[in-house]
Amino acid sequence: MGGVNLAGQVALVTGASAGLGQHFAQTLAEAGAAVVVTARRADRLDALVDKINAAGGRATAQALDLRDAAAIAATFDAAEKTFGMVDILVNNAGISDGNYAARLSLEDIDNVIDTNFRAPFLMATEMARRLIAAKRPGRIVNLSSIGAYSYGPASAAALYASTKAGISRLTETLALEWARFGINVNAIAPGMFMSEMTEGYLSRVGDGVKQQWPRGRFGQPEFLDSTLLYLVDPASHFVTGTIIVADDAQSSR
């Protein structure tokens, strides 16, 4: 894990019931952090906590619907009671629209915006208020997407891409606003990784899409380990407001 030691740190990961979030939680735990895993599917969280604890890590689960603003503060309260103040936040949770813009219902639009943009903003500000009051540093890692920078006419994810572009800009602006408090805000913009979210896209276009890429492969969760650990490592305190694109040259620049 690159020698990163997160012992004594408390990390909170959203969307930890599957995919990248699940893997991120395990990666942080293996590096020594006590991890609070959150998602709506509580049964999956319990299985993840058992796996982390069985491997010698420290983890606890907190069911959280990110669309419920009141539940966000309660989640941080619960984390503090269990492990102490949260030092690391990974805003991983997100959903895709999976349709052309003109075909989206108002309910779908609200769900995507509330989950992909409103929730990370509320999570970040809730954490920052607590850290600022306690005069403690912290690290926030947001999950953007290559979709924030590269899009095609048949991508059928205009709203998703727009919310991820918002996450990239949010990362940059919050980093500037909170730098004087010692709170670093960075983001990862993954390319096409194998996950539940990409299953719908691949069911439409087929996995032959990878043949268009120079290396002809999809990302695997472990490919992001070094990037995540670099951004949460206290030794990287000089890096803030940065979005790291990790797409294996899948997209044009």
Active site (catalytic) residues: 160
Following CA atoms 36, 223, 157, 159 in sequence, which dihedral angle do they give, to the nearest 10 degrees? 40
Starting at the edge strand found earlier in the chain, the sheet holding 10-13 runs 58-63, 34-39, 10-13, 88-91, 138-143, 183-190, 243-246
Chain-centre distance of CA 96, in angstroms? Answer: 14
Chain-centre distance of CA 104, in angstroms? Answer: 24
15 closest CA partner among 201, 191, 197, 198: 197
> Whole-angstrom Cα distance, residue 118 to residue 167?
10
91 within 8 A of 138, measured Cβ to Cβ = no
Half-sphere exposure (Cβ direction) of 69: Cα atoms closer than 13 Å:
6
As to burial, measured by CB atoms within 10 angstroms (0-12 exposed, 13-18 middle, 19+ buried), residue 194 is middle
